Homo-oligomer: A and B are copies of this chain.
């Protein structure tokens, strides 16, 4: 592996000059520059990033904190992949690498410290945190890292932190208003876990839309799920058991909505005739499952891109956006309403 000194020796120049050829080419004479570049190509010299990072304290790496080590083996973020693709593309375009950090393995370590330590050891220039929906507070400690930090779907505080999320309140309002416009006035909801930020916001949006329309909400019509299909199935069964049963349901996630749809079918009922149904997320299946799930769509790619932009803006010295950045959500009307 050829080093900068080796290259300098072969060119008969100092290492400083070689370094300048690659970092501030304009200060070195045309002649030497060409000579150095030619020789570099010949011997296959490439600067060593670890050494650069050590010297400059800039790594061109953005850390990704994303805890896959989860009790649910099949745990899936509904559209992590879209976010990741967008995030990586945007970062790559600026020459930034994305380092998916393994939590620090040291024994006897407070779990909330594991990621923080990994972040600090690697001199990453910034951090993106993707929430699991996990209640593990590990990631929250990252607000303490003195590094630009953007969290997705997770509220986080700290002087160098900001958050990005879809407009969950607005989306839930859209969904609820849509049901109201369809003439429903007995609307139930299946929620996500109470401690999950998007879940809480969606519930809030639901409530506010009902309020605004002067529709009273029976608290027994609010039933908790966990964003997974089975919980939607169970929740819908609970709702169907009520007498009279609600005529419309807002499920705070599409997977739960699909579970609810199944419960409906199992009970010999149909959407939208017997019960109208709106979901949230617009996962791929929503469009494909009959009769087509009416839902709220999020700008999946936009979230990843916004995360990259937030990081890069902080990298260039800007202060973090104080509040959470919210991306617009829109209603997609399909067959269930």
Contacts and interface: CB of A to CB of B under 8 A. Distances in A.
Interface of A: 46-51, 53-54, 59, 61, 64, 66, 68-69, 73, 75-77, 80-82, 84-85, 88-89, 91-103, 105, 117-118, 120-123, 258, 284-285, 288-290, 301
Given A46-B120, A121-B47, A97 B88 contact: no
Nearest to A61: B99
Contacts of A48: 54, 121, 123
Nearest to A54: B50
B47 A50 contact: no
Contacts of A120: 46
Contacts of A98: 99-100, 102
A89 B69 contact: yes
Nearest to A86: B68
A68 to B, nearest CB: 5
B100 A99 contact: yes
Contact of A95 (B73, B105, B123, B284): B105
26 contacts: A46-B120, A47-B121, A48-B123, A50-B54, A61-B99, A64-B100, A66-B88, A68-B85, A68-B88, A76-B81, A76-B85, A80-B81, A81-B81, A88-B100, A88-B102, A91-B102, A92-B102, A94-B102, A96-B102, A97-B100, A97-B102, A98-B99, A99-B100, A258-B288, A285-B289, A288-B288
Contacts of A89: 68-69
Given A100-B99, A258-B288, A285-B288, A49 B121 contact: yes
A258 to B, nearest CB: 7
A84 to B, nearest CB: 8
Contacts of A101: 97
Nearest to A91: B102
A33 B274 CA distance: 71
A124 to B, nearest CB: 10
Contacts of A102: 88, 91-98
A51 B123 CA distance: 10
